[in-house]
Amino acid sequence: MTYEDKYAELHSKYQKSGKELEQAIEKLSETKGFGDLNDISNYEKAHRNFKYAENQFQGLLKYVIDGKVDPSTEFNTCEYIFGTIKNDQLKKGIKLKDYEPYPNEDGEWEYYSCNVGLTNSDEIKKEYQHSFYLFPVLNLEHGKECYAYLSDKLLNNPDKEVDIESLDFKKVIDETKPIFLKVSLGIK
C-alpha cells in the first residue's frame, strides 16, 4: 500500500463519516427539544467517528504536505518496517526470526544490541558496527504502534517489563513536526 492508497482510504472514511454526521445532525433537528435519546446517542457516536477520521486524514495531509514523503512510496506499516529491517539484516548474514525477538539466544553472536525510539529528527549518526534505520510515521499514535511492534520483534522483553502505554512520548516528541521511528541494531 502506497501513501496515495492510504490517502484514498482515509479520504473515503473521512467523507463517509462526514455524511453520517450530517445525517445525525438532521435527525436531531427534525424533532423539537432534545428529541429521542437515541438520536443524541447516534449524534455523539457520529461526531466521535467524524473527529477521528478527520484527525487521521488531516494528519496524513500534513505529513505529505510537509514534504517528508513521496506519495507514491510504500506506506510504512509496522510489518513493512520490520520486513525492511529483517531483509537488510539477512543481506548481512543475520537471520531475524519472527517468533524469536532476541536473535542471540542460541549464542551464535558475540553481542546483540537494539534501540528503538521515536524522534522528530531525520538525522542519523553512524556508529561502528551498527545498522541504523529511520522510518517516517503518520503521527504519534502510529509511531507508538510501530514502536510497540518493533519492541516485541527486536527486543528481549518476554515479561513485558517495558510497558509502551506507560511511556509519555509527548514530553520528547513535538506532534506538530514530522515524527520518525529510529532503530539502531548491532549484531556481531
Interval 40-54: pLDDT, tens: 888 888 998 898 888
The DSSP secondary-structure symbol of 131 reads: E
Instruction: Please report the pLDDT score of residue 138 as a whole number.
Output: 80
Exposure of 88 in the CB half-sphere (CA atoms within 13 A): 16
How far apart CA 63 and CA 170 sit, in angstroms, is 18
Query: Are 151 and 157 within 8 A, CB to CB?
Result: yes
Look-up: residue for cell 463519516?
17
Look-up: residue for cell 457520529?
46
Q: Which of 3-12, 36-45, 135-144, 153-162 has the lowest mean pLDDT?
A: 153-162
The DSSP secondary-structure symbol of 100 reads: B
Look-up: residue for cell 538525522?
123
Rounded to 10 degrees, the C-alpha dihedral 113/136/9/4 comes to -130
The model's pTM: 0.58
Instruction: Indicate if the alpha-carbon torsion angle 89, 94, 95, 96 is positive or negative.
Output: negative
Which residues lie closer than 8 Å to 82 by C-beta, 6 or more apart?
A: 149, 150, 153, 154
How far apart CA 120 and CA 108 sit, in angstroms, is 35
Interval 118-131: pLDDT, tens: 888 877 666 656 78
